[in-house]
Amino acid sequence: MAVQPGARQRGVSAEEAIADYDQARATVYFDGEFRDYQQCRIGPMTHALHYGTGCFEGIRGYWSEAQGAVLLFRVPEHYQRLQQSAHVLRMDLPHTLDQLTALTVELCRRNRFRSDVYVRPLVYKGGEEVGVRLQGIRDSFLIYAEPFGAYVDIERGLRCMVSSWRRIEDTMAPARAKITGSYINAALAKSEALERGFDEAILLTAAGRVAEGSAENLFLVRRGTLITPAVSESILEGITRATLLQLWTEDLGLPAVERPVDRSELYVADEVFLCGTGAQLSPVVEVDGRRVGTGRVGPFSARLQQLYFDVVRGAVPKYEEWCTPVR
């Protein structure tokens, strides 16, 4: 569906923008320059394609009608994590954090977004050669962005299953690094959940404790305390997770604890929710066929979700610095 030219001065819904979006005409930051999507070529023998040797980020931007700008959420924190992931895979980012933030703003500006967006930076072994190793292979870097809507249904509440697939361990492939190849673990779990009629998968650690969702961190509420698995429990150190912990303790003034979580705690929790850049704050209303709490979106989840959306849309002055505007 074509968006009317006049509408470009204002925001459009993510659904409209997605329907109108022509990927072939997108601008991509690719190996040091802005190029048309069609001009970006990745060779058949690219190392990362064969061995999963890449790291990526997912950054959301929210259209603000009030500011007439897309607000990119916690960009430096995402690039900091990308630096850490790259360090694990013996790669270096080709730019500083400030440069990466500026490039991301410029990319969104060139693509003239007027809706919510998703930004996908990727650093990967771009050398075209055979051999499973990390040393001595050329690194490549790109940033892609597109209009984006909901990743999962955030209003109805998710029906989840505990996956038969376990979360990858730090001793096998570190979950705290956002490594492309490791996402086969998430893909197996998510596919199994969808095939069995659930919305999302929850993965346990090898030791049998709760880790996280396929692409989300996990929280429980029990008697007014927020509980989440610690960063040593084979999870990605999520930026939304850190944001929600801060909002919960500082702004709502409520207690939070990071500690091991048993599977059965999911069944007896008052509320459970998943969170992430894509999932935002997604309440869970059922786990393994058991109702969570009342079986509806709980009051704590609803309150925190509202605060989160106010923050990411630039409506909370205290947290404006987390939002980088694309002018």
Distance CA 159, CA 162 (A): 10
Task: Select the residue interacting with ligand PLP from 115, 240, 282, 324 (CB under 6 A).
Answer: 240
Q: Quickly count: other Cβ atoms within 10 Å of residue 295's Cβ.
A: 11
Nearer to ligand PLP, 107 or 235 (CB): 235
The reply on whether position 116 binds ligand PLP by CB under 6 A is no
124, 48 in Cβ contact below 8 A?
A: yes
Distance CA 262, CA 208 (A): 8
Q: Kindly state the helix (H) or strand (E) to which residue 323 belongs, with its residue range.
A: strand 323-326
Q: Which stretch binds ligand PLP (CB under 6 A): 148-156, 221-229, 236-244, 295-303?
A: 236-244
In sequence order, which ranges of the chain are alpha helices (DSSP H)? 14-20, 47-51, 75-88, 97-110, 183-195, 239-246, 263-268, 299-312
Nearer to ligand PLP, 57 or 139 (CB): 57
The reply on whether position 104 binds ligand PLP by CB under 6 A is no
DSSP codes, 204-215 = EPTTSBEEEESS
Token pair recorded at residue 275: 């969170």
Task: Select the residue interacting with ligand PLP from 16, 199, 200, 212 (CB under 6 A).
Answer: 212
Task: Select the residue interacting with ligand PLP from 199, 200, 216, 233 (CB under 6 A).
Answer: 216
Task: Select the residue interacting with ligand PLP from 46, 64, 111, 217 (CB under 6 A).
Answer: 217
Cβ 33 to ligand PLP, closest distance in Å?
A: 27
The reply on whether position 16 binds ligand PLP by CB under 6 A is no
260, 235 in Cβ contact below 8 A?
A: no
Cβ 156 to ligand PLP, closest distance in Å?
A: 20
119, 107 in Cβ contact below 8 A?
A: yes
Q: Which stretch binds ligand PLP (CB under 6 A): 12-20, 94-102, 211-219, 289-297?
A: 211-219
The reply on whether position 276 binds ligand PLP by CB under 6 A is yes
The reply on whether position 86 binds ligand PLP by CB under 6 A is no
- Asked about 318 being catalytic, the answer comes back as no
Q: How far is CA 282 from CA 53, 63, 165, 228, in A?
A: 30, 20, 22, 15
Q: Which stretch binds ligand PLP (CB under 6 A): 18-26, 127-135, 154-162, 208-216?
A: 208-216
The reply on whether position 236 binds ligand PLP by CB under 6 A is yes
Token pair recorded at residue 189: 């779990």
The reply on whether position 239 binds ligand PLP by CB under 6 A is yes
The reply on whether position 157 binds ligand PLP by CB under 6 A is no
Interface pattern 165-204 for ligand PLP (x via CB under 6 A): ---------------------x------------------
Nearer to ligand PLP, 12 or 175 (CB): 175
The reply on whether position 76 binds ligand PLP by CB under 6 A is no
Interface pattern 29-58 for ligand PLP (x via CB under 6 A): -----------------------------x
**One-letter identity of residue 10:** R
Contacts (Cβ under 8 Å, ≥6 apart) of 47: 53, 124, 125, 126, 127, 128, 129, 137
Question: How large is the C-alpha radius of gyration of the chain?
Answer: 20
262: left (phi over 0), alpha (psi -120 to 50) or beta: beta
Token pair recorded at residue 306: 């509202």
The reply on whether position 215 binds ligand PLP by CB under 6 A is yes
Number of residues that bind ligand PLP (CB under 6 A): 13
Q: List interacting residues with ligand PLP (CB under 6 A).
A: 58, 186, 212, 215-217, 236, 238-241, 276-277
Residues with a known catalytic role: 178
